[in-house]
Amino acid sequence: MDHRENATELRFILDVHLGRLAKYLRLCGFDTLFSTLFEDREIIETARLEDRVIITRDRLLLKTAGDIAGYLVKSQYHDEQLREVFEKFELKNHVRLFSRCISCNSPLEDVSKEEIADRLLADTRKYFSSFRRCPQCDRIYWEGSHYENMKKSLASLL
Ligand SMILES: [Zn+2]
């Protein structure tokens, strides 16, 4: 099977040091598990059970994981880490910005402005019309300045 066609199905699990990378992968729509509480054993077991690729800077973790798919990140900077992962797994054409919650990894749902109007600041209410909500943690997303900033930092990748 063509690797490219499968990239959208790729799912990741990151080690405890890769929090910022996790956020950016989620921002780009990729299913990415991350927790600062994960233990190595847990990461390996979850990767095995859920067919996830382990992304880590820990050589020993990958060695322990044996034949489970993994990638050893070289850079210590999240933007370069993201570039590494994008190149390694050919993710560029599979990006779906803001389709997944940055804090908890759940797929976002469209939500009407009326439903959440009381939670928005006046300016947000005035200038934006389309919103998404995380069904898991209830966080609300819209294409405001936060969105623009993150898009800018991804511009060289996309
Ligand atoms: Zn969430």
pLDDT, residue 57, reads 96
Token readout for 46 is 């979850």
Give the residue from 47, 62, 94 where a domain finishes: 94
CA of 105 from ligand 1 middle (Å) equals 6
What pLDDT does 8 receive? 55
Residue 13 lies in a domain: yes
The residue that leads in pLDDT, 121 or 6, is: 121
**Ligand 1 centroid, distance to 133 Cα (angstroms):** 8
Residue 4's CB is within 10 A of a number of other CB atoms, namely: 13
Rounded to two decimals, the pTM is 0.89
Residues 89 and 121 in one domain: no
For residue 47, pLDDT beyond 90: yes
The answer to the question of residue 101 being in a domain is no
Q: What is the pLDDT of residue 105?
A: 97
134 shares a domain with 67:
no
Q: Which domain covers residue 51, as residue numbers?
A: 3-94
68 and 36 within one domain: yes
Whether 4 shows a pLDDT value over 50: the answer reads no
Mean pLDDT, the chain, as a whole number?
91
Distance 108 CA to ligand 1 centre (A): 8
User: What's the structural domain count of the chain?
Assistant: 2
What's the angle, vertex CA 154, arms to CA 11 and CA 4, rounded to 5?
Answer: 40
Q: Using CA atoms, how far apart are residues 51 and 144, in angstroms rounded to an integer?
A: 35
Contact by Cβ (8 Å): 82, 99: no
Q: Are residues 8 and 86 in the same domain?
A: yes
Ligand 1 centroid, distance to 140 Cα (angstroms): 9
134 Cα to the center of ligand 1, angstroms = 5
pLDDT band at 2 (very low <50, low <70, confident <90, very high): very low
Residues 29 and 75 grouped into a single domain: yes
Rounded distance between C-alpha atoms, residue 80 and residue 85, angstroms: 9
Q: What percent of the chain has pLDDT over 70?
A: 95
Residues, Cβ < 5 Å to ion ligand 1: 101, 104, 106, 134, 136-137, 139
Residue 104 resides in a domain: no
Same domain, 79 and 36: yes
